[in-house]
């Protein structure tokens, strides 16, 4: 009589243990991620300034946000930065991957050189490029010393061009990683199909255009999603490279959110900008994750 | 791009194309190496050689004084402590945060693949999405909560933050890895009377070496390189390396000691660079697992 009871208790315990194991993570996720999202969302509808308050003011902060020239600049900068960053990273990454895939001698040496910037923090990357791009001392100065006196490259000091220096440094940091993604995709393509096409007289150019690149679709999609989400989150690099300047020239939504929330005492507006950032990323990530999760079933 | 047809590899290239390819690859190798090389060369020069000279030239006088200064006597904040205490802070934050999030991720991944229950896919989806949120959305409430529980501006506070926002990724890694494991093995052990933890320790964990390495590398790199949380939640005494480096470089008082800045930047980059060099293969696999489903 005792045995069934005991085993019943054991099975019940066995059923509960998985849930107990997951509980701390699930609880922390619900509080620290989704709870906090709700909290910030709520704050975006209050008149919080230096400290959070709970007096609702409706859509006031969003209205104000879209009136602020700084926010407009930040959004425009993000559009410029993100489109160039994504496009150039994919172009360089794909080219490097295709070239590296041609049975290159020294591939084992080149690949890690292309990839190592990914291991560095954006603060380090920013420090290095800030100096290289500084006209008085970096690349421009060096080319002058080498005799190319007329060379001029002062983008980082120019309010219309500074955002492009952020693109340069960010591309330097991430393009090797995109190369790795495409290289993995290329290595997964069946050589037999290519040989068959070649028998039919297809040139290398056509092989890439008609067969190989279309097969890299998943790598393109992943690269796009990852780069887009990195672009929206970009903060460290701007802080280290330009500090948002000159003037407001390199302000991005992430730097805007930080300064309005913590230094300008406009927490409600800061919260509203964070909500907009989340919405942007959700619009990219949720369809992607949904497709990724649904597929295997 | 026409080439001789051969039976071996499909894509064949002629000499001119190959020369172009090699040139292109070497040019990009230079582009990637330039910033680090410039920082290295200039971190062993006296300041006068930097401001007056050529950044590409090797030093006339070799000096390791900038390194010593960056490490132990540069002015960061109020005290001329160098970067050393902040380097130690980073280690104090990274080690426990990586350990805790990896262990929890392994258990989560195991439970989510081998002990499935209703709603686990939705749960996993929520966890997955939490990896990609812009952290700006949690900064304000996190600052409040850290204050409320008395961890504001402290090392344990930053450990908590990194564990909480690292869990999604570590769970993702282990779940993808364990989902390839035969579930029959788990069922068989279960019939033999092994409990949930016993199965984990005896069957799954001994085969988890590669994914543990990948997860540790991923977490280590992310946490070591973090700046946003460090600058938002650290007090003067608990600042991590990235924040201290930024303070050092941005300090506007007096002459900019570029050589010291470079030495500091390399010091900040060194741990992740070493991890990358020692375990490059795993590092890449980790990056890929974070982006493409494993």
Whether pLDDT at A130 is above 70: yes
Name beta bridge partners: B153.
Answer: B234
Q: What gap in Å lies between CA B222 and CA B218, rounded to an integer?
A: 6
Q: What gap in Å lies between CA A225 and CA A146, rounded to an integer?
A: 42
Torsions phi, psi for A159 (to 5 deg): -70, -20
Taking an 8 Å cut-off on Cβ atoms, the answer to whether A240 and B32 are in contact is: no
What share of chain A in percent tops pLDDT 90?
51
* A113: contact with B, CB 8 A cutoff: yes
Whether pLDDT at B8 is above 70: no
Count Cα neighbours of A36 within 13 Å in the Cβ-side half-sphere.
Answer: 26
Do A122 and A128 touch, CB atoms closer than 8 A?
no
Whether pLDDT at A5 is above 60: no
What was the pLDDT predicted at B293?
43
What was the pLDDT predicted at B6?
45
**Complex prediction ipTM:** 0.88
What share of chain B in percent tops pLDDT 70?
93
Q: What gap in Å lies between CA B158 and CA B142, rounded to an integer?
A: 11
Taking an 8 Å cut-off on Cβ atoms, the answer to whether B111 and A18 are in contact is: yes
Do A49 and A267 touch, CB atoms closer than 8 A?
yes
Domains parsed from chain A with CATH numbers: 69-294 (1.10.3720.10)
DSSP string, A6-22: HHHHHHHHHHHHHHHHH
The residues, any chain, with a CB within 8 Å of residue A262's CB and separated by 6 or more, are A270, B232
Closest residue by Cα to residue A237 from A291, A194, A174? A174
* A112: contact with B, CB 8 A cutoff: yes
Taking an 8 Å cut-off on Cβ atoms, the answer to whether B144 and A52 are in contact is: yes
Q: Directed axis angle between helix B280-291 and helix B209-225, to 10°?
A: 80
Q: State mean pLDDT over B70-91.
A: 89
Q: What gap in Å lies between CA B98 and CA B101, rounded to an integer?
A: 5
Distance from CA of B143 to the nearest CA of A (A): 11
> To 5 degrees, how large is the angle CA B122–CA B128–CA B131?
150
What was the pLDDT predicted at B135?
94
Q: State mean pLDDT over B90-108.
A: 96
Q: What gap in Å lies between CA A263 and CA A261, rounded to an integer?
A: 6
Top pLDDT among B288 and B291 is at B288
The residues, any chain, with a CB within 8 Å of residue A108's CB and separated by 6 or more, are none
Q: What gap in Å lies between CA B285 and CA A9, rounded to an integer?
A: 43
In chain B, what residues touch A119 (CB-CB under 8 Å)?
221, 269, 272-273, 275-276, 283
The residues, any chain, with a CB within 8 Å of residue B190's CB and separated by 6 or more, are B199
pLDDT grade, residue A188 (50/70/90)? confident
Q: What gap in Å lies between CA A242 and CA A38, rounded to an integer?
A: 32
Taking an 8 Å cut-off on Cβ atoms, the answer to whether B221 and A194 are in contact is: no
Can you give the length of chain A in residues? 297
Taking an 8 Å cut-off on Cβ atoms, the answer to whether B9 and A103 are in contact is: yes
- B184-187 contact pairs (CB < 8 A, 24+): B186/B114
Closest residue by Cα to residue A141 from B64, B38, B27, B46? B38
Taking an 8 Å cut-off on Cβ atoms, the answer to whether A119 and B272 are in contact is: yes
Say what the pTM is: 0.90
What was the pLDDT predicted at A37?
96
Whether pLDDT at B11 is above 50: yes
Taking an 8 Å cut-off on Cβ atoms, the answer to whether B134 and A32 are in contact is: no
In chain B, what residues touch A36 (CB-CB under 8 Å)?
137-138, 141-142
Which of A203, A226, A243 has its CB closest to that of B2?
A: A203
- Please provide the average confidence, as pLDDT, over all residues in chain A: 88
Rg, chain A, Cα only: 25
CB pairs under 8 A between A and B: 276
What was the pLDDT predicted at B10?
62
Q: pLDDT of A131-183, one tens digit each?
A: 888 887 888 888 887 877 777 787 887 788 899 999 999 999 999 999 999 99
SS3 track for B149-198: CCCCECHHHHHHHHHHHHHHHHHHHHHHHHCCCCHHHHHHHHHCCCCHHH
Do B217 and B275 touch, CB atoms closer than 8 A?
yes
- Please provide the average confidence, as pLDDT, over all residues in chain B: 87
Taking an 8 Å cut-off on Cβ atoms, the answer to whether A104 and B196 are in contact is: no
Which of A110, A112, A240 has its CB closest to that of B246?
A: A240
The residues, any chain, with a CB within 8 Å of residue A6's CB and separated by 6 or more, are none
Whether pLDDT at B145 is above 50: yes
Taking an 8 Å cut-off on Cβ atoms, the answer to whether B269 and A119 are in contact is: yes
Whether pLDDT at A6 is above 70: no
Q: pLDDT of A25-80, one tens digit each?
A: 999 999 999 999 999 999 999 988 888 888 888 899 999 999 999 999 999 999 99
Q: What gap in Å lies between CA A49 and CA A268, rounded to an integer?
A: 6
In chain B, what residues touch A253 (CB-CB under 8 Å)?
136
Whether pLDDT at A237 is above 90: yes
Do B167 and B105 touch, CB atoms closer than 8 A?
yes
**B2 CB burial (10 A radius; 0-12, 13-18, 19+):** exposed
Taking an 8 Å cut-off on Cβ atoms, the answer to whether B249 and A240 are in contact is: yes
Which of B112, B196, B265 has its CB closest to that of A124?
A: B265
Q: State mean pLDDT over A233-255.
A: 90
DSSP string, B260-271: HHHHHHHHHHHH
Count Cα neighbours of B4 within 13 Å in the Cβ-side half-sphere.
Answer: 5
Q: pLDDT of B201-219, one tens digit each?
A: 988 999 898 899 989 999 9
pLDDT grade, residue A294 (50/70/90)? confident
Q: What gap in Å lies between CA B216 and CA B101, rounded to an integer?
A: 9
If phi > 0 it is left, if psi is from -120 to 50 it is alpha, else beta; for residue B193 that is: left
Taking an 8 Å cut-off on Cβ atoms, the answer to whether B167 and A25 are in contact is: yes
Whether pLDDT at A14 is above 60: yes
B14, B32, B135: best to mutate for the A interface, most A CBs within 10 A: B32
């Amino acid at each position: 009589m005792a045995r069934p009871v005991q085993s019943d208790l054991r099975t019940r315990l066995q059923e509960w243990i998985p849930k107990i194991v997951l509980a701390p993570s699930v609880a922390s996720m619900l509080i620290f991620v989704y709870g906090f999202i709700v909290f910030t969302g709520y704050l975006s509808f209050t008149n919080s300034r230096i400290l959070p308050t709970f007096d609702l003011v409706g859509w006031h902060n969003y209205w104000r946000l879209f009136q602020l020239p700084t926010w407009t600049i930040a959004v425009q900068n993000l559009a410029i930065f993100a489109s160039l960053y994504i496009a150039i990273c994919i172009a360089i990454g794909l080219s490097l991957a295709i070239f590296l895939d041609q049975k290159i001698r020294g591939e084992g040496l080149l690949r890690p050189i292309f990839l190592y910037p990914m291991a560095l923090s954006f603060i380090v990357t920013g420090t290095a490029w800030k100096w290289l791009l500084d006209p008085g001392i970096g690349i421009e100065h060096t080319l002058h010393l080498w005799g190319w006196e007329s060379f001029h490259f002062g983008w980082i000091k120019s309010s219309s061009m500074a955002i492009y220096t952020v693109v340069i440094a960010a591309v330097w940091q991430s393009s090797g990683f995109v190369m790795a993604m495409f290289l993995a995709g290329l290595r997964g393509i069946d050589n037999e199909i290519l040989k068959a096409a070649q028998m039919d007289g297809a040139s290398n150019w056509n092989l890439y255009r008609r067969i190989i690149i279309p097969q890299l679709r998943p790598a393109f999609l992943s690269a796009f999603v990852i780069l887009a989400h990195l672009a929206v989150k970009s903060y460290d690099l701007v802080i280290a490279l330009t500090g948002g300047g000159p003037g407001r020239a390199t302000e991005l939504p992430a730097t805007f959110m930080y300064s309005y929330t913590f230094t300008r005492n406009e927490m409600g507006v800061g919260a509203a900008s964070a909500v907009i950032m989340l919405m942007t990323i959700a619009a990219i990530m949720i369809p992607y994750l949904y497709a990724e999760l649904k597929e295997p079933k | 791009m026409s080439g001789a047809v051969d039976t071996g590899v499909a894509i064949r290239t002629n000499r001119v194309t190959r020369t172009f390819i090699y040139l292109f690859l070497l040019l990009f190798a230079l582009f990637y190496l330039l910033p680090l090389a410039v920082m290295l060369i200039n971190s062993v020069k006296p300041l006068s050689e930097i401001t007056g000279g050529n950044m590409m030239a090797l030093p006339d006088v070799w000096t390791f004084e900038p390194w010593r200064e960056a490490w132990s006597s540069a002015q960061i904040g109020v005290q001329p402590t160098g970067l050393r205490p902040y380097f130690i802070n980073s280690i104090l934050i990274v080690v426990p945060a990586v350990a805790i999030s990896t262990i929890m991720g392994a258990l989560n991944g195991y439970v989510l693949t081998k002990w499935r229950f209703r709603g686990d896919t939705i749960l996993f989806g929520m966890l997955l999405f939490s990896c990609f949120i812009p952290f700006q959305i949690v900064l304000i409430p996190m600052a409040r909560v850290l204050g409320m529980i008395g961890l504001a501006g402290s090392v344990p506070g930053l450990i908590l933050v990194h564990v909480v926002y690292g869990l999604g990724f570590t769970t993702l890694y282990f779940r993808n890895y364990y989902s390839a494991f035969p579930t029959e093995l788990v069922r068989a052990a279960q019939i033999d009377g092994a409990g949930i933890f016993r199965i984990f320790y005896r069957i799954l964990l001994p085969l988890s070496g590669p994914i543990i390495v990948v997860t540790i590398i991923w977490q280590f790199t992310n946490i070591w390189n973090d700046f946003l949380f460090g600058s938002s939640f650290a007090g003067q005494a608990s600042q991590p390396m990235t924040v201290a480096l930024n303070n050092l470089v941005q300090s506007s008082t007096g002459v900019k000691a570029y050589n010291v800045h470079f030495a500091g930047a390399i010091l900040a980059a060194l741990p992740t660079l070493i991890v990358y060099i020692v375990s490059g293969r795993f590092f890449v696999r980790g990056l890929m697992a974070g982006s493409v489903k494993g």
